[in-house]
């Protein structure tokens, strides 16, 4: 079995200097932004340097039954959407803070999903353009449909070096897609978007998952997904694992089935599922390992690189996605020591 590439050397721990950098950046940002409506945030990661995020909304990913953001928004009965004016105001207040070269954009909203509102999609692209024009690269995860992504492709034609995109797929089985990802495009159209972005010069990865035990996780299903990625001309895959959230069990019960909801809830009650965050649980590491072996074997056969990072072993559901100039030195370090 070929081991997956480990970003920032997954066996390493965060250095004290990097941890201090992350805390200092967070303190500096909090001193100039409105705590009641903070769009920009910075967090220290287990795998290395601080990660900056710009939260645009909390609507989640289409109508995906697995989506923790959708479940959380239902429980809290609150859906947030940031406007261009709010973004401009936040950037103005944060001018005294040295913003990073890359920001994770819209981690809790997918405006390029097939069921997303077209007006919102265009507003999001306008915000992306504003940030890129300010010299900030954007890291984006989407399950977008190539048929609905002309605005994103137009931005990519203009500034491909300022985008780093991860394309998400759940499975290659249409029945599974229909159960778990209502309102989203078939996986083939998502991979087509990834290929189009890559051909324009954008750095592209594929997010496979979230992997759900006894749903989309057997060896054949994972192999078929990896092969589909390879056939699409894409060559980097990051596994994502299902994570719990308030109301997720009810969401899966209503949109997939009661038995599946009970099964998923059972995995979250196993030892090792506590992610160290209140009301949040993940698949225990021992449950992930066998699935990771299947993925590694399939990736080796298809000449696809499988990536993970230390964050995944410390409670994250997916490897961190980086801007290209931040990622390259870390991969070089791994390859030299491998």
Is residue 308 within 8 Å of 293, Cβ to Cβ? Answer: no
Instruction: Indicate which CATH number applies to the domain containing 72.
Output: 3.20.20.70
Question: Tokens standing for 137?
Answer: 């690269």
Which residue range forms the structural domain that includes residue 232? Answer: 5-329
Which of 67-81, 104-118, 130-144 bottoms out in mean pLDDT, i.e. has the lowest?
67-81
Task: Specify if 77 maps to a domain.
Answer: yes
Task: Specify if 121 maps to a domain.
Answer: yes
3-state secondary structure the chain: CCCCEEECCCCCCCCHHHHHHHHHHHHHHHHHCCHHHCCEEEEECCCCCEEEEECCECCECCEECCCHHHHHHHHHCCCCECCHHHHHHHHHHHHHCCCCCEEEECCCECCCCCCCCHHHHHHHHHHHHHHHHCCCEEEEEECCCHHHCHHHHHHHHHCHHHEEEEEEECCCCHHHHHHHEECCCCHHHHHHHHHHHHHCCCEEEEEEEEECCCCCCCHHHHHHHHHHHHHCCCCEEEEEECECCCCHHHHHHHHCCHHHHHHHHHHHCCCCCEEEECCEEECCHHHHHHHHHHHHHHHHHHCCEEEEEHHHHCCCCECCCCCHHHHHHHHHHHHHHC
Q: Which residue has the tokens 């056939």?
A: 231
Q: What local confidence, expressed as pLDDT, does residue 314 receive?
A: 66
Whole-number Å distance between alpha carbons of 97 and 27: 10
Radius of gyration of the CA atoms of the chain, in A:
19
Whole-number Å distance between alpha carbons of 235 and 227: 10
pLDDT band at 338 (very low <50, low <70, confident <90, very high): very low
Q: What is the pLDDT of residues 276-291, one digit of tens each?
A: 666 678 898 888 999 9
Q: What local confidence, expressed as pLDDT, does residue 305 receive?
A: 95
Q: Comparing C-alpha atoms, which of 191, 196, 205 is closest to residue 324?
A: 205
Task: Specify if 335 maps to a domain.
Answer: no
Task: Specify if 183 maps to a domain.
Answer: yes
Task: Specify if 103 maps to a domain.
Answer: yes
Q: What local confidence, expressed as pLDDT, does residue 228 receive?
A: 98
Q: Comparing C-alpha atoms, which of 274, 146, 288, 270 is closest to residue 208?
A: 288
CB count within 10 Å of CB 18 equals 17
Residue 301 pLDDT more than 90?
A: yes
Is residue 165 within 8 Å of 200, Cβ to Cβ? Answer: no
Whole-number Å distance between alpha carbons of 275 and 282: 6
Q: What local confidence, expressed as pLDDT, does residue 255 receive?
A: 96
Work out the burial of residue 271: count CB atoms within 10 Å of its CB; fewer than 13 is exposed, 13-18 middle, 19 or more buried. exposed
Task: Specify if 253 maps to a domain.
Answer: yes
pTM: 0.85
Question: Tokens standing for 105?
Answer: 């954009």
Percent of the chain with pLDDT over 90: 55
Percent of the chain with pLDDT over 70: 79
> Residues of 165-197 as b/e, b for ≥16 C-beta within 10 angstroms?
bbbbbbbbbeebbebbbeebbbbebbbbbbbbb
Task: Specify if 242 maps to a domain.
Answer: yes
Number of compact structural domains in the chain: 1
Q: What is the pLDDT of residues 55-110, one digit of tens each?
A: 888 889 999 999 999 998 888 876 667 777 888 887 777 666 677 889 999 999 99
Which of 8-22, 114-128, 137-151, 271-285 bottoms out in mean pLDDT, i.e. has the lowest?
8-22
pLDDT band at 303 (very low <50, low <70, confident <90, very high): very high
Residue 149 pLDDT more than 60?
A: yes
Q: What local confidence, expressed as pLDDT, does residue 252 receive?
A: 97
In degrees, to the nearest 5, what angle opens at C-alpha 240 toward C-alphas 239 and 241?
A: 120
Task: Specify if 334 maps to a domain.
Answer: no
First to last CA, the chain: 14
């Amino acid at each position: 079995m070929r081991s997956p590439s480990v970003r920032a050397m997954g066996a390493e721990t965060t250095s004290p200097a990097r941890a201090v950098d992350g805390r200092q950046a967070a303190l500096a940002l909090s001193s100039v932004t409105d705590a009641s409506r903070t769009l920009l945030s910075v967090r220290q990661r287990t795998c290395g340097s601080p990660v900056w995020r710009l939260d645009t909304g909390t609507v989640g990913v289409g109508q995906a039954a697995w989506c923790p953001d959708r479940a959380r928004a239902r429980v809290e009965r609150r859906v947030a959407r940031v406007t261009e004016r709010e973004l401009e105001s936040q950037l103005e207040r944060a001018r005294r803070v040295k913003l990073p070269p890359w920001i994770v954009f819209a981690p809790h909203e997918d405006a390029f999903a097939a069921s997303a509102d077209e007006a919102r999609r265009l507003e999001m692209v306008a915000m992306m353009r504003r940030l890129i024009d300010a010299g900030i690269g954007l890291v984006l995860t989407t399950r977008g449909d190539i048929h609905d992504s002309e605005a994103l492709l137009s931005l990519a034609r203009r500034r491909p070096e300022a985008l780093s995109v991860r394309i998400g797929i759940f499975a290659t089985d249409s029945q599974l897609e229909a159960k778990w990802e209502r309102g989203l495009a078939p996986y083939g159209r998502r991979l087509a978007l990834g290929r189009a972005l890559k051909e324009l010069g954008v750095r592209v990865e594929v997010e496979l998952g979230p992997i759900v035990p006894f749903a989309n996780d057997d060896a054949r299903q994972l192999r078929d997904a990896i092969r589909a990625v390879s056939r699409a001309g894409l060559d980097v895959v990051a596994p994502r694992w299902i994570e719990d959230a308030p109301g997720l069990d009810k969401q899966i019960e209503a949109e997939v089935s009661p038995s599946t909801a009970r099964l998923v809830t059972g995995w979250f009650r196993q030892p090792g599922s506590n992610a160290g965050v209140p009301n949040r649980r993940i698949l225990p590491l021992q449950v992930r390992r066998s699935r990771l072996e299947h993925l590694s074997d399939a990736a080796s056969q298809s000449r696809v690189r499988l990536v993970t990072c230390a964050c995944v072993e410390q409670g994250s559901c997916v490897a961190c996605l980086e801007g290209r100039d931040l990622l390259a030195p870390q991969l070089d370090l791994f390859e030299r020591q491998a």
